[in-house]
Amino acid sequence: MQALNSLATPEEKLAALCKKYADLLEESRCMQKRLKALQKKQSQIVKEKIHLQGEHSKAILARSKLESLCRELQRHNKTLKEENAQRSREYEEQRKEAMLHFQMTLSDIEVQMEQHSSHNTKLRQENMELAEKLKKLIEQYELREEHIDKVFKHKELQQQLMDAKLQRITEMMKEVEEKQQRERDFLLKDATESRRKCELMKEQETQLKQQLSLYMDKFEEFQSTLAKSNEVFTTFRQEMEKMTKKIKKLEKETTQWRTKWENNNQALLQMAEEKTLRDGHFKALQGKLELLERLCRALQKERNDLNNRLSLLQEQGDKGTALLRGQGPLSCWRSGVLVL
C-alpha cells in the first residue's frame, strides 16, 4: 500500500499491481517446478532406499549362512580332532600292548632257550619275524602320525582361512552397514529438508494468493472511493470539526468527573476509617454491656437472697411477739433480750 500510495495515477497503480501479480505468478510457477523436481527426487531416493534395504537384508542372510557354515566347520574340525586323538590313543595302546607282548614273548623265548637249546634256531627265526613285524608296525605308526599331523595342519590352515574370510566378510558387512546408515541419514535429512521447503513454498503460495486477493479488493475499493473522495472529504472535514469540539467538551467533562471521582475516593477512605473506629468502639461498648448485664444478674440474685432472708426474719419476729404476749413481764424481758 505504501508503494501504491507513492504512485500518482490509478493507471500506474494498476500497472504496478499487474506487474506484481505477474511476478508472483512466475515465482509460483517456478516454485511448482521445483516442487515437482523435489518430489521426483524424493521418489528416486525412496526407491534407492528400498533397493538398499533389500541388499542389506540379502547381506544379512549371507552373513547368517556364513556364520552357520563356520559353526558347522568348527564342529566338524572338533569332531575330527577328537577322532584323531581317539585313534592316536588307540594306536598308542596297541603299541604298548604289542611291546608288552613282545617283551613277554622275549622272556618266554629266553626261558625256553635256556631250557630247550634245540629250539634256539626256530626261536631266533620267530624273533626275527617278530622284530620285522614290530619294525613294520612302528613304521606304520610313524606314517600314520605323519598323516594325522598333515591332516591337522591342513584343517588348521582351513580354519585360519575360514576365520580370515569370516573376519573380512564381517568387516565388509560393517562397512556396508555404516555406508547404508550414512546414506540413510543423508536421505532422511534431504527428505525432511525438501518436505519442509515444500511446505514453506505452499504456505508462501497461499499467503501470496491471499495478499493478491486483498490487493485486488483494496484496489476495487480504492477505485470506488476515488469517485466519492471529494464528497467524503468535505463531509469528513465537517465531521472532524464537530468531533474536535465534542472531544474538547468530553475532555473537560472527563477532568470534572476525574476530580469528582478522586474526591469521592477520599471521602470513601475517610468513611472506611471512621467505620473501623466505630466498629472498635462498638465492640468495646458490647463488652461493657455484657459486663453490666452480668453485674445486674448478680445484684438481682443477691437482692432475691436478701428478700428471702428478710421474709424469714420477719416470720421469726412475728412468732416471738406472739410468745411475749402470752407470758409475764420477766418472760417478756427475757424474750425481749432474746429478741434483741
DSSP codes joined into one string, 227-278: HTHHHHHHHHHHHHHHHHHHHHHHHHHHHHHHHHHHHHHHHHHHHHHHHHHH
Confidence of residue 320 (pLDDT cuts 50, 70, 90): low
Q: Which pLDDT score is estimated for 152?
A: 73
Confidence of residue 189 (pLDDT cuts 50, 70, 90): confident
178 near 11, Cβ under 8 Å?
no
Centre a 10 Å sphere on the Cβ of residue 215 and count the other Cβ atoms it contains. 19
What's the CA gap between 212 and 162, in Å, rounded? Answer: 73
Is 277's pLDDT higher than 80?
yes
Start-to-end C-alpha separation, the chain: 125
Give the pLDDT mean for 300-305: 87
Q: Which pLDDT score is estimated for 324?
A: 58
38 near 198, Cβ under 8 Å?
yes
190 near 45, Cβ under 8 Å?
yes
pLDDT, one tens digit per residue, over 203-239 is 877 777 777 777 677 767 766 776 676 676 677 677 7
Is 305's pLDDT higher than 50?
yes
Residue 195 Cα to chain centre, angstroms: 26
As a whole number, the mean pLDDT across the chain is 78
What's the CA gap between 260 and 57, in Å, rounded? Answer: 88
Is 284's pLDDT higher than 90?
no
Is 329's pLDDT higher than 80?
no
Residue 9, SS3 per DSSP: coil
Q: Which pLDDT score is estimated for 33?
A: 92
Q: Which pLDDT score is estimated for 31?
A: 92
Q: Which pLDDT score is estimated for 25?
A: 92
List the Cα angle 208/209/211 in 5-degree steps.
Answer: 60
Q: Which pLDDT score is estimated for 322?
A: 63
Query: Of 89, 111, 20, nearest to 103 (Cα)?
Result: 111
Confidence of residue 38 (pLDDT cuts 50, 70, 90): very high
Residue 327, SS3 per DSSP: coil
Q: Which pLDDT score is estimated for 335?
A: 40
Amino acid (1-letter code) at residue 64 = S
Q: Which pLDDT score is estimated for 92?
A: 84
325 near 336, Cβ under 8 Å?
no
Interacting residues of 145 by C-beta distance below 8 A, sequence separation 6+: 88
Is 70's pLDDT higher than 90?
no
Is 328's pLDDT higher than 80?
no
Q: Distances in Å between the alpha carbon of 138 and those of 23, 54, 80, 142, 208?
A: 104, 60, 23, 6, 102
Range with top average pLDDT, 96-105, 151-160, 190-199 = 96-105
What's the CA gap between 31 and 318, in Å, rounded? Answer: 133
Interacting residues of 159 by C-beta distance below 8 A, sequence separation 6+: 73, 74, 77
Q: Which pLDDT score is estimated for 333?
A: 37
What's the CA gap between 185 and 314, in Å, rounded? Answer: 123
Max Cα distance, the chain (Å): 197
Q: What is the pTM of this model?
A: 0.26
Is 339's pLDDT higher than 50?
no
191 near 42, Cβ under 8 Å?
yes
Is 153's pLDDT higher than 50?
yes
Query: Of 179, 202, 187, 197, nearest to 42 (Cα)?
Result: 187
What's the CA gap between 170 and 166, in Å, rounded? Answer: 6
Q: Which pLDDT score is estimated for 337?
A: 36
Q: Which pLDDT score is estimated for 327?
A: 52
Q: Which pLDDT score is estimated for 222?
A: 66
Give the pLDDT mean for 64-72: 86
pLDDT, one tens digit per residue, over 82-95 is 888 888 888 888 88
Q: Which pLDDT score is estimated for 47?
A: 92
Give the pLDDT mean for 188-207: 75
Q: Percentage of the chain surpassing pLDDT 70?
A: 86
Report residue 327: phi and psi, to 5°.
-105, 175
Query: Of 59, 51, 65, 58, nearest to 171 (Cα)?
Result: 59
Lowest mean pLDDT among 12-21, 126-135, 186-195, 330-339: 330-339
Beta strands in the chain (DSSP E): none
Q: What is the DSSP letter of 7?
A: S
pLDDT: which is higher, 43 or 318: 43
